[in-house]
Amino acid sequence: MGALVLAQGDEFVAPGAKDFNLGPIFGEGTFVTKPMVLAVLAAVIVGAFFLLATRNLKIVPNRFQFAAESIYDFGRNNIAREQIGAKDFRPFVPLILALFSFILVNNIFGIIPVIQFPVMSHIGFPLALSVLVVYPVYHYVGFKRHGFVGYLKKETVPAGAPGFILPLLTPIEFLQKFLINPITLALRVFAAMFAGHLLLLVFTLGGEYLLLEASAALKPVSVVSFAFAIILTFLEALIQVLQAYIFALLSANYIGAALAAEH
Amino acid sequence: MLNTQLVLAAEGAPNPVVPHLSEIILGFVAFLLLLWVLRKFAVPRFEKLYEERTAKIEGGIEKAEKAQAEAEQALEQYKAQLAEARTEAAKIRDDARLEAEQIKEELRADAQEEARRIVAQGEAQLQAQRAQIVAELRAELGRNSIELASRIVGEALEDEARRRGTVDRFLAELEASGNGAAGARN
């Protein structure tokens, strides 16, 4: 990736959106790209991890089981039960757990050496999760519980709002619930991963350029650039976990809101 | 702003906000497969484990509570038994004291009775001896008196009947005067 940029000559070309377009990895003519392979890999890793961890569960857990239980507990209690409520959360535990762990692994790919690509920086993946999975689920359970009209009314006519404001409020509520929420849910994680990866690219490639191409006086500055790249890697680690958490949290929140009796 | 500039600067590059259809489909399918695996295997296993753990912990707590209740019951029983034993001991002690008192009383009564009996016997004996002595003395005195009288008079009072009458008369007089003196003395 860096080699590509530098191959264009001595002039420094700032990394941009084109660096996220990696092209087919099995040569020209095939359409399988690196993020596609990574997404499948993430699904396999998460699935294998939980299958392996739950193969022989003990009442008194060993270290590995304890780690798996901690992740499961986090998705189950801290996200699903908190947001959906102790009465209804059980059917949604697999969904929330899958969302959290799948996005987490895909994000973490961004700082794993050699892999170093956050899958969620390709908007297709978060869109698939939010628009094709979370969006249908929360509206489906909402309609199922409150009935078609009841759910629409609950979602678009907030209780306690004075009548004269409804013509303004109802379209906004409708837009938010039925159009904006799923898009922003995907955009949030996409943008964070895209920007984070771009920042790492800038500092890494910039440092490389300074080290190799700049005049002797400027070469030491590359150390600063690399140092920033390392610091930002830690920051990225934090953001990647946080974004996975936020995605799962908001998904659970939408489901909880759709199920709740009052707006 | 930086992002848009960078995006615009990269001419010919695909817009990152426009999704690839292949990625949407792949992401969706991969996620659904993962979801199916978790829903079918991982989550039920975890939930089963949690239920078992809850049951085990609750069972342990229940057992401990039961043991405690049993221990408390045993303690109550022992306390009750102890109290009962104490009451019984006190009762026995009281009874013993009462009995001892009674025995002492009986012994005292017996002793007093005995003493009285002994005293009475002694008095009776004394009376008898006194009467005997009096009778003996009376006979002796009569004889001595007659002896003395015959000596003084110088003649033998041969007539038994007369002698008896004289002596008896004398003794009666003597007794009458003696009784008068004894009554004055008493």
Cα–Cα distances (Å) from B132 to B41, B127, B177, B183, in that order, read 134, 8, 21, 21
* pLDDT band of B3, cuts 50, 70, 90: very low
Q: Which of B12, B13, B38 sits opposite A94 (nearest CB)?
A: B38
A154 touches B: beta carbon within 8 Å: no
Chain B contact set for A50 (CB, 8 A): 37-38, 41-42
- Of A70, A78, A68, A76, nearest to A92 (Cα)? A76
* pLDDT band of B7, cuts 50, 70, 90: very low
Per-residue pLDDT, B144: 84
| A92, A261 contact by CB (below 8 A) | no
Task: Enumerate residue ranges in chain A where pLDDT < 50.
Answer: 1-9, 263
Q: Which of A31, A40, A69 sits opposite B22 (nearest CB)?
A: A31
Chain A contact set for B33 (CB, 8 A): 43, 47
Which residues in B80-125 belong to E strands, given as ranges?
Answer: none
List, for residues B136-186, the tens digit of each pLDDT value. Answer: 888 888 888 878 877 776 655 556 666 677 777 878 888 887 665 555 554
A46 touches B: beta carbon within 8 Å: yes
List, for residues A124-149, the tens digit of each pLDDT value. Answer: 999 999 999 999 999 999 999 999 99
A115 touches B: beta carbon within 8 Å: no
Q: What stretches of A164-220 show up as alpha helix (H) in DSSP?
A: 166-175, 181-212
Chain A contact set for B42 (CB, 8 A): 50-51, 53-54, 72, 94, 97
Task: Give the Cα separation of A177 and A134 in Å (integer).
Answer: 12
Q: What ipTM does the predicted assembly reach?
A: 0.87
Task: Give the Cα separation of A69 and A98 in Å (integer).
Answer: 14
Task: Give the Cα separation of A243 and A250 in Å (integer).
Answer: 10
Per-residue pLDDT, B97: 94
Range of the domain at A29: 2-259
List residues of B whose CB lies inside 8 A of any A CB: 3, 6-7, 9-10, 12-28, 30-35, 37-39, 41-43, 45-49, 52-53, 56
Task: Give the Cα separation of B145 and B153 in Å (integer).
Answer: 11
**DSSP code of residue B14:** P
Three-state secondary-structure class, residue B167: helix
Three-state secondary-structure class, residue A33: strand
Which H or E element spans position A12? none
Residue count of chain B: 186
3-state helix, strand, coil split of chain A in percent (to 5) is 75, 0, 25
| A117, A35 contact by CB (below 8 A) | yes
Per-residue pLDDT, B64: 93
- Per-residue buried b or exposed e for B85-95, using 16+ beta carbons within 10 Å of the residue's own CB: eeeeeeeeeee
User: With a threshold of 0.80, does the pTM exceed it?
Assistant: no
Task: Give the Cα separation of A31 and A82 in Å (integer).
Answer: 41
The CA distance from A220 to the nearest CA of chain B, in Å, is: 26
List, for residues B60-114, the tens digit of each pLDDT value. Answer: 999 999 999 999 999 999 999 999 999 999 999 999 999 999 999 999 999 999 9
Q: Count of domains in chain A?
A: 1
